[in-house]
Structure 1
Amino acid sequence: MKAALLAMHYQNDVLHVDGKVRVGVAADDPARPRLIASAARLIAGARANGVPVIFVRIAFAPDYADCLRNCTLFRRVAESGAVQEGSWGAGFYDELAPRPGEAVVTHKRNNPFWASGLEEAVRATGASRLYLAGIATNHVVEHGARHASDLGYDVAVVADACSTAQAHLQAASLETLAMLADVVRVDEAVAQMGGRP
């Protein structure tokens, strides 16, 4: 079964200790280095096994003209000045950044597939199984997994390469996702990518 990896929101404002978005990783979260190491292992494992990695980012115009303010999350993003196109915050975290030639998709809604070109990028890989990882689990990962499942993909969520700032929300999100996706860990995902049980 051909696979692809969606690596979502591994951006400075979302992941870096100095970032402005805190729904995925709390500012003082001691688990941050473990999350970064897990995500790096996942991306490296995909590359080593010839699995295409699609890097998904969220970014808005500097004046936020393209940012809907119809929900608390996006109102807070605009108020904080986060993920402005061209800024350090919108850029990828160094250790988890795409290499030249790897696909990068930018979206502007909760659902990473919405009007972003992600569906076309996935289709171009020929994959039927999608591994999803990113921040926050209960936002972009859940939205992406639901949409990918509705499109007919075999979905796996890589739990230890995902994060939600509050542990109870992480647990609830993964429990919900288990009804429409395989919930796996990095080592299991990489073994599957390599055709190992």
Structure 2
Amino acid sequence: MKDSIYLVLDMENDLVHADGFNGKAAYGEQVRGRGIIEKTRHAIDKARKAGIHVGFVRVGFSPDYRECPPNSPIFSGARKNGIFQLGTWGTQSHPDLGQRPEDFDIVKHRVSPFYSTSLEAILRANGIRRIYCSGISTNAVVQATVREGHDRDYEIIVLEDCCCAPSAEEHDNAIQGLKRFCTLTTSLDVHFE
């Protein structure tokens, strides 16, 4: 059994699909401009071929938003705009990424995929020691995954070309801040082990 997992972070329709809530906004422009969907799918295919686990992390709330923090600058717009509702198209992973039933599906209610989710139990049950990750956005879920994963003693590898933020500047700043905590690679150069 492999001791690695590729976590695809917040690549859900409300954030990255051209028809999603953010598809016409800054995230959508960055996703299309950087070719994030295509590069991420390429990385997923490589991970599958290498035989490592694949996990999809999604942010989502009950229809009444009972888990949504009312004072959060990040999540307060979810209730107002009717996005990130579990069980809807918006919280499904982008269809071009090819999520499979055997992939791990981790639902989170905060920025970090470790906070009050099944992620730690999944990692421990499967003997995972190395986390490859990428997603949206670099300065939120990717940063949280890297920093928390680092402090939980996982080896972290970020596929930089499969990540973006609302602007190129925010992405670049986030990547600069992560260099001390992880290894950076790309979807072309990554060697899943």
When the two structures are superposed, what TM-score results if normalisation uses the length of structure 2?
0.92
Q: CA separation of 1:95/1:32 partners in 2, compared to 1, >3 Å: closer, same or farther? A: farther
Any residues of structure 2 matched to 1:63-102 within 5 Å, and which? Answer: 63-102=64-103
Q: Name the structure 2 match of 1:124.
A: 125
One-letter amino acid of the counterpart of residue 93, structure 2: F
Q: Name the structure 1 match of 2:32.
A: 31
CA distance in 2: counterparts of 1:110 and 1:132, whole angstroms: 15
Give, in angstroms, the shift of residue 69 of structure 1: 1.9
CA distance in 2: counterparts of 1:42 and 1:142, whole angstroms: 19
Q: CA separation of 1:162/1:62 partners in 2, compared to 1, >3 Å: closer, same or farther? A: same
Q: Name the structure 1 match of 2:183.
A: 182
Q: CA separation of 1:133/1:48 partners in 2, compared to 1, >3 Å: closer, same or farther? A: same
One-letter amino acid of the counterpart of residue 101, structure 2: P
When the two structures are superposed, what TM-score results if normalisation uses the length of structure 1?
0.90
Two-structure CA RMSD over aligned residues (Å): 1.8
Q: Is the CA contact (8 Å cut-off) linking 2:57 and 2:106 kept in structure 1?
A: yes
- Name the SS of the counterpart of 1:171 in structure 2: helix
Q: Name the structure 2 match of 1:161.
A: 162
Q: Name the structure 2 match of 1:19.
A: 20
Q: Name the structure 2 match of 1:41.
A: 42
Give, in angstroms, the shift of residue 30 of structure 1: 7.2
CA distance in 2: counterparts of 1:40 and 1:125, whole angstroms: 23
Q: Name the structure 1 match of 2:11.
A: 10
Identity value in percent? 28
One-letter amino acid of the counterpart of residue 183, structure 1: L
Give, in angstroms, the shift of residue 21 of structure 1: 3.9
Give, in angstroms, the shift of residue 32 of structure 1: 4.7
Q: Between Structure 1 and Structure 2, how many residues are aligned?
A: 191
CA distance in 1: counterparts of 2:3 and 2:68, whole angstroms: 35
CA distance in 1: counterparts of 2:80 and 2:33, whole angstroms: 25
Give, in angstroms, the shift of residue 40 of structure 1: 0.2
Q: What runs of 5+ residues in structure 1 fail to find an aligned partner?
A: none
Deviates more, 1:52-61 or 1:31-40: 31-40
Q: What runs of 5+ residues in structure 2 fail to find an aligned partner?
A: none
Give, in angstroms, the shift of residue 97 of structure 1: 3.8
